[in-house]
Amino acid sequence: LEAKIKSYLHIEVSKEDHLPKIVCSNCTVKLDGHHQFALMALKMQEKLLGLAGNQNNEASSSNGQINSENDDEIEDEEGDFDEDDDDGEDEEEEEEDGNEDDDEEKDATDYSGSLLHSILTHGRQQMNRE
């Protein structure tokens, strides 16, 4: 209890001071609820960072595969990578690919937000039951 008070309330508790040493049950429950919320938030942050890292790795590896396939197709059609013969079509394709990546990032953000919201809501419901 002393460590929680020091950590969350930033109050020094000492046996030597002349202040009361008793904490009411209502305050103890609230402090324990705050502690559980803090632990839950840390765990969820770790999970969300892990999910975000996995999605970034998957997106990076799939982008690399797409780019190398496009390079092979261009080389097969033209025989070399001559940029003077560009008719602008490749730029439109690249812009479309970029938009898809943005949509994936938005979806990941939306998913993370709703997951976090449900976790926090569930945590709040659990604390209210206690």
Count, residues in the chain: 130
Which DSSP string corresponds to 45-72?
A: HHHHHHHHHHHHHHHHHHHHHHHHHHHH
The confidence score (pLDDT) of residue 42 equals 93
- Token couple for 128: 């209210």
Are 69 and 114 in contact by the 8 Å Cβ rule? The answer is no
Going from N- to C-terminal start, the domains of the chain cover: 2-80+88-129
Q: What is the pLDDT along the chain (130 residues), one digit of tens a residue?
A: 888 888 888 888 888 888 888 888 999 999 999 999 999 999 999 999 988 887 777 766 665 555 555 555 555 555 554 445 455 445 444 444 444 444 444 444 444 455 555 666 665 555 556 5
Tokens 């970034």 belong to which residue?
Answer: 56
